[in-house]
Amino acid sequence: MSTLPESRRTQPELPSPIGQLSGAVVTALREGELPSGPLAAAQESARGADPYGLDLQLALYVLYELHYQGFDGVDADQEWEPRLLDLRRTLERRFLDALRIDAAPEADAERTLAALQIEPAGFDDNSVSHHLRRDGELWQFREYAALRSLYHLKEADPHAWVIPRLHGRAKAAMVAVEYDEFGAGRADEIHAGLFAALMADLGLDPTYGRYLDAAPAQALATVNLMSLLGLHRGLRGALVGHFATVEITSSPGSRRLAEALRRMGAGPAAQRFYDEHVEADAVHEQIVRREVVGGLLSAEPGLDADVAFGVTATGFLEDRLGARLLAQWRQEESALRIPLPSPVDSSAPPAPLAPLGQNG
């Protein structure tokens, strides 16, 4: 019997809106009514909104979450409410159009994936995992874990949406890797559960969605990308590219994070999550490159550019998040919109000098 925290036993609360877009979405879901005026105004506003800004990213995250766990008190039928889907599509187009410009690949899928294994000059100074391993502090790792919980507590779920859209080699290999992510038949080995145990070990609340209100736009965008690619069959190639990026970069990054936790004196449950990924993802990397990506492009060579885009879009958004975290931490400031309460055995950073704006 599993003894890991059940982070998804209950539905999360709706977050606090911060602008017109997220306000229209949250109000519609909270009240169960969909007045045409605010939604029409949100549609118009979305067309000119900052594609990476907090208001758009929070609205998109809330709409996507209807397809995962939903929210406490929100009718499950809202998942397929046409006017909310119409607004979501407008937000998605704004986000995706920006990514196709800002993260356009410069090479084919094979060369784009190969580049992931080469650390560029200065990477050590701009990498969150390098920073945490070398001289990061426990309060910084706790912030990192709180933000990553938005994905890791549903780890592998967004990628599972691609399975019905694959066939042959790619499908068989994708299912094999996902089987490991979901614990290989053992509830106590599900990676989302291992991350919940990591959070508890670090004095964080492992409740699903607990830190949504604290997440800056850069963190929300990394999760929204997975949902966007997963929910659209036409973006299956890009989702495979995203999945390949995660698996290829996971093992070395996880090794550094495991070393950081050992240096900080974290408990065994915290260390286990990353130790597990060092071993598992080193194997997954080869399967994903040769069988998932290779199988997909053998069957559908026209998706090569889409796979490459999935790789570059993932890297672009991860770089933005890393820059946000490191910039705040180097000033001894919280990178969260709402700083974490300090545990008894850890020192906390100073509070932010000023409230974060809508693009925070």
The domain locations on the chain are: 20-101, 107-330
Decide: 209 and 69 in contact? Cβ < 8 Å.
Answer: yes
107-330 architecture in CATH? Up-down Bundle (1.20)
Query: Residue 85's closest CA among 232, 237, 209, 236?
Result: 232
Residue type, 55: D
Model pLDDT, residue 351 = 44
Mean pLDDT of the chain: 91
Cα–Cα distances in angstroms (integers) from residue 124 to residues 119, 128, 154, in the given order: 8, 8, 29
**Spans in the chain with pLDDT lower than 70:** 1-6, 120-124, 280-281, 344-360
Model pLDDT, residue 3 = 55
Residue that is written with structure tokens 């580049």 in the block: 115
Cα–Cα distances in angstroms (integers) from residue 177 to residues 1, 13, 47, 156, 228, in the given order: 23, 32, 38, 9, 21
What is the enclosing helix (H) or strand (E) of 82? helix 82-102
Residue type, 268: P
**How far is residue 266 CA from its own chain's centroid?**
23
Nearest-5° Cα angle at 320, 284 to 351 = 115
User: What percent of the chain shows pLDDT beyond 70?
Assistant: 92
Model pLDDT, residue 347 = 45
